[in-house]
A and B are shown apart, each in its own frame.
Chain A
Amino acid sequence: MTVLPDDIVLKVSDLQTHFELGGRVAKSVDGVSFDVRRGETVAVVGESGSGKSVTSLSIMRLLSSPGRIVGGSILYRTSQGQIVDIAALPERKMRAIRGREIAMIFQEPMTSLNPLYTVGDQIMEMIRLHEPVSAAEARQRAKKMLDLVEIPAADRRLDEYPHQMSGGMRQRVMIALALSCNPNLLIADEPTTALDVTIQAQILDLLRRLQREIGMSILFITHNLGVVAEIAHDVVVMYTGRVVEKSPVSGLFAHQKHPYTRGLLACIPNASRDRGAAGERLRLNPIPGNVPSVTALPPGCSFAPRCSYRIPHCDEAPPLMTAGPSHLSRCWRHEAL
């Protein structure tokens, strides 16, 4: 019998997800571990190729071939209090969890909604797939969901198609769809990236409110550190398939214990820091070079070739080390930071 501390909803341990093609192996997720506590939000941050989306797809078991979970465990506490390992669950049992227990929203609301069905039909389908209710009852529930995500004139909107709605409205429909079966855990993969800032602010507000009211946990995947600061309790920073830093949000923004995280924050333009006394522009501090491909990683620390703190020791791959209270860093020099 597997045990999980009471307040933990999801425990990812040493997750390994590989893509094998033509004899070459891409270790897109290479030993990732983190916990999601009840009613809290964990943000997974990274640039393209960091493995953040593959991590979320692994948890949903939505990997497409040749992607495969080859190691580690994903322990999940169901709403009945049962603990299951998603990484090893038969697909038939996974179907009872996907959508109902763990729901997901994606970056592009246009491509994740079916253009041929009204939004009402799509929400009703979701409800009736998971619960034995009549069509009339499902429609009532669907209307309540649109009300919940603050879509005005919900009754009329139920009969509209996705193309008749704006981007922000569609993302609300996606959230309504995801929440229609009262999930325990919501995985949000860049849910505001395609939206304008004023609409992003509305959606973040909405997610915070729903979390407060429903008490669900959120795994929030993003590349935007501004959004992380707004929504996360805990932060997991990923680079080339590995966790490089992990910390509660306040600790991470106060003291970055990994040069990559520090570099990411330093290169976001900030006029109060990057402009001189007379208003002249100072140079930004970019991270040199590019993110390496996971099929051609440098030996040792994968960030070392771009790192200004590099020492000879970095040729040896660093483990995740304790760098402060609840703060982990995969850097030999975390104390020097």
Chain B
Amino acid sequence: MSTETLLSVQGLTKQFQTRSGTVRAVDGVSFDVKRGTIVGLVGESGSGKTTAGRCTLRLVEPNEGRIVFDGVDLRTLPEREMRAYRSRLQIIFQDPYSSLNPRLRIDQIIGEALDIHRPVKGSARRDRIAELLERVGLNPDAARRFPHEFSGGQRQRIGIARALAVEPDFIVADEPVSALDVSVQAQVLNLIQDLQQSFGLTMLFIAHDLSVVEYLCDEVVVMYLGRVMERGPSREIYAMPRHPYTQALLSAAPIPDPAASRQRIVLKGDIPSPMNPPSGCVFRTRCRYAVEACAEIVPPLEDIGSDHHVACIRQGDSEVISQGLTL
């Protein structure tokens, strides 16, 4: 595995104007994705993970920040030049029902992507579509059928085939297995892994299912209310989460074993409104370790060694560290 960075997101910020004020959906998010690795972006609803993923591809135009892809800042590119990059950057959506046009046949859905970025004609086009369908584990006959004729898992395979059609280097997968039944989830996760290995794909995997992320991702970025709380190698973060939010999040995941010991940290209340986030650390209102200073200082994302970063002014406290060890 090379350690070359393919994508570097720096200070990404996206604000939405609404009638009742400004929502800072993504607020100064930074992370790197090394070539050939999968980075998991986790967080609960309202954490800004989906917006951050879309901003990375400029599907949603960010307000600030740099998105350096293969040495080029995508935000400085005019739309015409951005188009050339679009085929290298693809997305797989969460809902396999609404992300495929119900009026198009499968060969038209996949062909559309080919026609725009990798035009081929006639039998070469048919062969390419058949090859892509086989690659994702579908029968080439699927080409002549419509989306409603397929199950959720099969549709997700079609969505993956469409993304692969243009031979991308980088894929944002936005909750690609969340809508699927458990038994089908594992099939699609195996497929994603096979494809990642055989094509050397680099991925940003957005998810809320923590066990899927732990299994699949090399690195994890934990978001809360638009900001990164903690990021680093997934093995290290799962073994010893250092941010109180990551600790609570990991402890809340149900374990499919009634005999397992549980050290649950139950967070009080709800995620605050992104319209009016708390001052200082955005997590402080639900944090059991919050002190007065947390309201004053926006904690910087500090490197605590071996690529592990934590945004908490108390991350060095033995109390906080030992909590991470009990999980």
Interface residues of chain A, those whose CB is within 8 Å of chain B, are 47-48, 152, 166-169, 196-202, 204-205, 223-230, 249-250, 253-254, 263-265, 267-271, 274-275, 279, 281, 283-288, 290-291
Q: What are 16 A-B residue pairs whose CB atoms fall within 8 Å in the complex?
A: A197-B252, A201-B266, A228-B256, A229-B256, A229-B260, A249-B258, A250-B259, A267-B182, A267-B183, A267-B185, A271-B211, A286-B186, A286-B189, A286-B190, A287-B183, A288-B187
Q: Given A197-B44, A226-B253, is A290 in contact with B153 using a C-beta cutoff of 8 Å? A: yes
Q: Are B182 and A223 in contact (CB under 8 A)?
A: yes
CB distance from A334 to the nearest CB of B (A): 20
Q: In the complex, which residues of chain B have a beta carbon less than 8 angstroms from the beta carbon of A287? A: 183, 186
Q: Does B193 count as interface, using CB distance less than 8 angstroms?
A: yes
User: Assuming the A-B contacts A166-B270, A269-B216, A271-B215, are A286 and B184 also in contact, with contact meaning beta carbons closer than 8 angstroms in the complex?
Assistant: yes
> Which residue from chain A places its CB closest to the CB of B272 in the assembled complex?
A166
Q: Is B235 on the interface with A (CB-CB < 8 A)?
A: yes
Within 8 Å CB of A263, what residues of B? 183
CA A21 to CA B190, docked complex, whole Å:
38
Q: Do B252 and A270 touch (CB < 8 A)? A: no
Given A48-B181, A284-B190, check contact A269 B258 (CB 8 Å): no
Say whether, besides A202-B266, A250-B258, A290-B151, A264 and B215 are in contact (CB < 8 Å): no
Q: Which residues of chain B are near A264, meaning CB under 8 Å?
A: 182-183
Q: Which of B28-52 contact A (CB under 8 A)?
A: 44-45
Question: Interface of chain A, helix or strand or loop or mixed?
Answer: helix
User: In the complex, what residues of B have CB within 8 A of residue A169's CB?
Assistant: 270
Residue in contact with B183 in the complex, picked from A204, A230, A291, CB distance below 8 Å? A291
Q: How far is the CB of B165 from chain A (nearest CB, A)?
A: 24
- In Å, the complex CA distance between A275 and B269 comes to 35
Inter-subunit contact A226/B182 (CB<8 Å): no
Contact with A along B244-274 (1 / 0, CB 8 A): 0000110111111111100010110111000
Q: Which residues of B contact A201 (CB under 8 A)?
A: 251-252, 254, 264, 266-267
| Selected contact of B267 from candidates A202, A265, A275, CB within 8 Å | A202
Expressed in whole angstroms, the Cα–Cα distance for A264 and B251 within the complex equals 22
Q: Write the B208-249 contact mask toward A (1 if CB under 8 angstroms, else 0).
A: 101110111000000000000000000100100000000011
Q: Which residue of A lies closest to B187 (CB)?
A: A286
CB distance from A168 to the nearest CB of B (A): 6
**Bound Cα distance A281, B214 (Å):** 10
Contact check, B45 vs A198: say whether CB atoms are below 8 A apart: no
A205-B266, A269-B216, A271-B238 as given contacts; A196 in contact with B208, CB under 8 Å: yes
Among A197, A271, A284, A286, contact of B214 (Cβ-Cβ < 8 Å): A271
CB within 8 Å for A267 and B256 given contacts A196-B45, A197-B44, A281-B216 = no
Give Cα A167 to B270, complex, Å.
Answer: 9
B249 to A198, Cβ gap below 8 A? yes
Given contacts A285-B186, A290-B151, contact A229 B211 (CB under 8 A): no
User: Nearest Cβ distance between residue B272 and chain A, in whole angstroms?
Assistant: 10
Contacts of B214 in A (CB 8 A): 269, 271
List residues of B (134-162) whose CB comes within 8 Å of A's CBs.
Answer: 151, 153-154
Q: Which of A197, A223, A269, A271 is close to B181, meaning CB atoms less than 8 Å apart? A: A223
The reply to whether B270 and A168 form a contact with Cβ atoms under 8 Å apart is: yes
Q: Verify A198–B259 contact, CB threshold 8 A.
A: no
Of the candidates A152, A223, A269, A291, the one whose C-beta lies within 8 Å of that of B215 is A269
Minimum Cβ distance to chain B for residue A47 (Å): 4
Most buried by B among A197, A204, A226: A197
- Which residue of chain A has the shortest Cβ distance to B194 in the bound complex? A283
**How far apart are the CA atoms of A166 and B264 in the complex, in Å?**
22
Taking CB as reference atom, which chain B residue is nearest A293?
B151
Q: Taking CB as reference atom, which chain A residue is nearest B213?
A: A269
Closest-by-CB residue of B relative to A167 is B45
Do A268 and B187 have beta carbons less than 8 Å apart? no
Give every chain A residue within 8 A of B182 (Cβ-Cβ).
47, 223, 225, 264, 267-268
